[in-house]
Structure 1
Amino acid sequence: MCSKQNDIDVIVGRVLRRTRLASGHTMTSLAAQCGVTHQQLQKYESGSNRVSVSRLFILSNALGIPPAELIDQVQELLGRDRSDPVDSAWHRLQFAKPEHCRKIISGLASVRDTEVLQSVLNLLAVLDQNEGRVER
């Protein structure tokens, strides 16, 4: 159960932001496509304004995913422990630039040599353990 009334609003906002970034939309482009201001979308993503069901349908349509998928992601996060490493990784991903994410995913998808791919995955695991800090 949520500790505060607005916990769900914050999680809905987090899911919207994550989905927007993954889709490559800027806040301005998505807001324009949905008929809201940049500031209103910012308030939705921060959880300070509640997203109505009708607005959720409009947003999900603009993002190219079914509304049920957004709701499933919200339900998943509601049940997840706040210290969950997957949630922590998503939080860090919020600060990544979408074009960098696309290049990384595209690059990984093009690797055909399984040993090279495993080396990259090992490197990513080390970076994750060190939170990106290089130890000297």
Structure 2
Amino acid sequence: MPVSEGGPDQIDVEVGLNLRRMRLARGFSQTELGNALGVSFQQIQKYERGSNRLSASMLVKAARFLAISAADLLPMDDDVKPIPNFIHRFAEVRGVPELVDGYCTLRNPALRSVLLQLVKAMNGKPAAEARPMAGEAAASPPP
């Protein structure tokens, strides 16, 4: 597998994203994980971004602390594909997992559409007329 030029290796990025996902799923802060591993929360941030590689010993220690298998932190297969840039932001912005989870649990397609249009408008993008996403049935907007 070729090593990526000018940035972290995609395997390190995927391991870091898996570490972040498992840490958040278990309700631990970066500080708590850092204390368990004997490193700073800043070092945990670097691990989670993939900018610093997790050594085998740190990977095993992190897995033990999170009560998972070390293999759970490794890529799913040997054919690791580049991770889209927007995924990197998920690991860096607080609240993204909760926002995505909340969006996904909205049952009303019209509400999801309105929320998406709100976010676009707040970012200065033109807000299109609220309409259901592909594959969703139209629903009347909330009162």
Same fold (TM over 0.5): yes
**Alpha-carbon contact 2:18-2:73 (below 8 Å) kept:** yes
Structure scoring higher RCO (CA < 8 A, sep ≥ 6) equals 1
The alignment partner of 1:36 has SS state of coil
Q: How many residues align?
A: 119
Counting aligned pairs with the same residue, the percent is: 34
Match of 2:31 among 28, 31, 45: 28
Offset of residue 32 of structure 1: 0.8
Against the structure 1 CA distance between its residues 82 and 56, is the aligned structure 2 distance closer, same or farther, given a 3 Å change threshold? closer
RMSD: 3.8
After TM superposition, the score normalised by the length of structure 2 is 0.57
- Matches of residues 1-136 of structure 1 in structure 2 within 5 Å? 1-4=1-4, 6-7=8-9, 8-73=11-76, 75=77, 79-83=80-84, 88=86, 90-91=87-88, 93-94=90-91, 95-97=93-95, 100=98, 104=102, 108=105, 117=107, 119-120=108-109, 123-124=111-112, 132-134=119-121, 135=127
Unpaired runs of at least 5, structure 2: 122-126, 129-143
The one-letter code of the counterpart of 1:132 is V
Q: TM-score, normalised by structure 1?
A: 0.59
Aligned partners of 1:99, 1:72: CA distance in 2, in Å?
Answer: 20
Q: Give yes or no for contact 2:46–2:52 (8 Å, CA) kept in 1.
A: yes
- Using the TM superposition, give the Cα deviation of residue 102 of structure 1 relative to its aligned residue in structure 2, in angstroms: 9.9
